[in-house]
Amino acid sequence: MNKELTFSDNVFNPDVIMNSGQVFRMQREGDIYSAFSGANQLQFYRTKADRFMFFCEDDQWDFWQSYFDFDTDYEKYNHAVRESKDPFLLKSLEVGKGMRILRQDLWETFVSYLISQNNNIPKIKKSIQILCDRYSDGMAFPTAEVLSAVSTEELSNGTALGYRADYISGLSKQVASGQLDLEAFRGHDWEKTVEMLLTIKGIGPKVANCIALYGLHVMDSYPIDTWMKKIISEDYSSMDQKEYMAWLHGHFAGFEGYVQQLQFYCKRK
């Protein structure tokens, strides 16, 4: 099916989204954007300045609508950002306008952020693509069932996963056996969600917040990584990390993750 939708640049900018570090399988070739998540795939392109044409399988549109969070008005978030008059945030919004927080396939999000630890974005993308090529058709993300049948040795060979292969193997087996139901992670508040995620081997505070935000759409979670630490020390030098977190929550309760995503994108750019 195809669908044409109108968005202002302030609320949907695929170039910003795909380079924001929250997604590893969205790319642009010429004028055509492609996105892959789980077993879903989508192509789209800009038809006018503020219009986009989307193409996907009929039964996948609901997923993609949810993926891009199209039902949420991001202008209300942007308004709050402008109201704050915080210099670094105003700059971040200018650079990163059109950012959205995606709602990605949950299994793929778990595995992707297990891979992300102590790693860099190009290499994360590379490892994920190798998994898709080797254990799927190159487009759908390999299922837990398939990965659980692969030995840890094979999984770590030629994938650049390193020690992370062990975490992925372990999680795959738990999910494939039914011992762990990823759907059970939905529907809890931030604290409970993170607490549950931390029980999984290989998931620490940073990865837990990434999965909460990008997979479970818990919008008040915000991962603190090396870049965010750099932002706090360089752009909020009057605060320590704790004070920064209190400030973020105080001004942007309920969408801290979006605000932080703008900052992260701006800093890396």
Q: State which of residues 64, 100, 264, 266 lies at the interface with DNA (CB under 7 A).
A: 264
The reply on whether position 223 binds DNA by CB under 7 A is: yes
Q: State which of residues 99, 131, 150, 208 lies at the interface with DNA (CB under 7 A).
A: 208
The region of 1-9, 11-19, 75-83, 204-212 touching DNA under the rule CB under 7 A is 204-212
The reply on whether position 204 binds DNA by CB under 7 A is: yes
The reply on whether position 201 binds DNA by CB under 7 A is: yes
**Least distance between DNA and beta carbon 222 (Å):** 7
Q: State which of residues 179, 226, 237, 238 lies at the interface with DNA (CB under 7 A).
A: 226
State the number of binding residues for DNA (CB under 7 A). 39
**Beta partners for 35?**
26, 42
The reply on whether position 162 binds DNA by CB under 7 A is: yes
How far apart (Å, rounded) are the C-alpha atoms in residues 108 and 140? Answer: 10
For the segment 139-158, give every residue that binds DNA (CB under 7 A).
Answer: 156
The reply on whether position 202 binds DNA by CB under 7 A is: yes
The smaller minimum CB distance to DNA, of residues 120 and 238, is found at 120
- Parallel, antiparallel, or unpaired: how do β-strands 32-37 and 26-29 relate? antiparallel
Q: State which of residues 21, 38, 96, 98 lies at the interface with DNA (CB under 7 A).
A: 21
The smaller minimum CB distance to DNA, of residues 36 and 167, is found at 167
The reply on whether position 54 binds DNA by CB under 7 A is: no
- What residues line the site for DNA (CB under 7 A)? 20-22, 116-124, 156, 160-163, 200-208, 210, 222-228, 230, 260-261, 264, 268
